[in-house]
């Protein structure tokens, strides 16, 4: 039986926002993925909130056993401090369990403390060690003349001072289409590039797609792109020379971000035998 009020979830991936209806609820298996996805502020906020909640819960258990913990004078705040010391397995000696009930609760709390330290250490390490590429995408793409052919062009730069080995790039054109039967689809077209692979990505890389009559972009301008809700997705992946791990990055270009009849300002200069990458003008364009 279908739900009368299906669950709606707003999702944002890159610049694209959409709503999922009827998606399944997150399960316990998704928690690790969610923790790695959230921001550092959210991560520490949830961690601190969980830490305080656990200690308040155990402090309440100790507080219900009057005289179960020595030298607390029956004050809740002292039971809270005893819980904090027990959870972290510090134990300064000022407070200590006396009754069998308090001993049992403290033993359970020590177990949760050891488990929590192990989990938190693993999560923090996973977040820190997650490989990320510092690849800068130009804020706009251009359609300019290159060797006498209209060419879509974006450029990327490696902002780290190392190499990305065996780097591959793909450019995908995404647009909305309607079939002859009236069905609406989101179609994806992989664009053929002048060069889609480089052995070592060091400085800057201009990504070029010639708009011939066989290109999915043939006949398009910014207005027509907007009419079909079209955008271009640029994806790069390669092997980080320092981390020895695969890294990836992507950029998206909607209709208003693609400038027709313009070209990029040169950013690769030469000082004697030394190449210079001037990122100050990385996003600047000029009319053809």
Say how far apart CA 199 and CA 164 lie, in whole Å: 8
Task: Give the pLDDT score at 156.
Answer: 94
Q: Supply the pTM of this predicted model.
A: 0.74
Task: Give the pLDDT score at 212.
Answer: 94
Half-sphere exposure of 7 (CA within 13 A, CB side): 7
Phi, psi of 53 (to 5 degrees): -65, -45
∠ CA 145-147-150 to the nearest 5 degrees?
A: 30
Answer yes or no: are the C-beta atoms of 99 and 125 closer than 8 Å.
no
Between 24 and 173, the more confident residue is 173
The boundaries of every CATH 1.10.287.70 domain in the chain are 8-129
pLDDT at 29 over 90: no
The boundaries of every CATH 2.60.40.1400 domain in the chain are 135-287
Tens-digit pLDDT profile for residues 73-97: 999 999 999 999 999 988 888 899 9
Task: Give the pLDDT score at 27.
Answer: 60
276 pLDDT tier (thresholds 50, 70, 90): confident
Q: What is the CA radius of gyration of the chain?
A: 29
Tens-digit pLDDT profile for residues 182-225: 788 888 999 999 999 999 998 889 999 999 999 999 999 888 99
Its CATH architecture, for the domain 135-287, is Sandwich (2.60)
Topology (CATH level 3) of domain 8-129: Helix Hairpins (1.10.287)
Say how far apart CA 264 and CA 247 lie, in whole Å: 26
């Amino acid at each position: 039986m279908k739900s009368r009020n299906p669950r709606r979830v707003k999702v944002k991936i890159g610049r694209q926002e959409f709503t999922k209806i009827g998606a399944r609820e997150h399960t316990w298996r998704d928690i690790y993925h969610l923790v790695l996805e959230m921001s550092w502020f959210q991560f520490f906020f949830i961690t601190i909130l969980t830490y305080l909640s656990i200690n308040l819960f155990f402090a309440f258990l100790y507080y219900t056993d009057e005289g179960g913990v020595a030298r607390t004078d029956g004050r809740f705040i002292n039971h809270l401090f005893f819980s904090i010391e027990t959870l972290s397995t510090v134990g300064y000696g000022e407070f200590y369990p006396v009754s069998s009930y308090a001993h049992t609760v403290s033993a359970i709390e020590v177990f949760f403390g050891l488990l929590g330290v192990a989990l938190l250490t693993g999560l923090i390490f996973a977040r820190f060690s997650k490989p990320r590429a510092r690849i800068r995408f130009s804020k706009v793409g251009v359609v300019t003349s290159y060797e006498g052919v209209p060419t879509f062009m974006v450029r990327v730069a490696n902002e780290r001072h190392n190499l990305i080995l065996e780097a591959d790039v793909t450019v995908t054109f995404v647009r909305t289409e309607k079939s002859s039967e009236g069905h609406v689809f989101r179609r994806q077209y992989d664009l053929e590039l002048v060069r889609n692979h480089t052995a070592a990505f060091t400085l800057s890389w201009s990504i070029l797609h010639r708009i011939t009559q066989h290109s999915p972009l043939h006949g398009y301008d910014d207005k027509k792109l907007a009419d079909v809700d079209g955008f271009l997705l640029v994806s790069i992946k390669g092997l980080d020379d320092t981390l020895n791990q695969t890294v990836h990055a992507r950029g998206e270009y909607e209709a208003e971000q693609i400038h027709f009849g313009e070209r990029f300002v040169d950013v690769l200069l030469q000082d004697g035998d030394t190449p210079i990458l001037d990122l100050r003008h990385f996003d600047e364009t000029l009319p053809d």
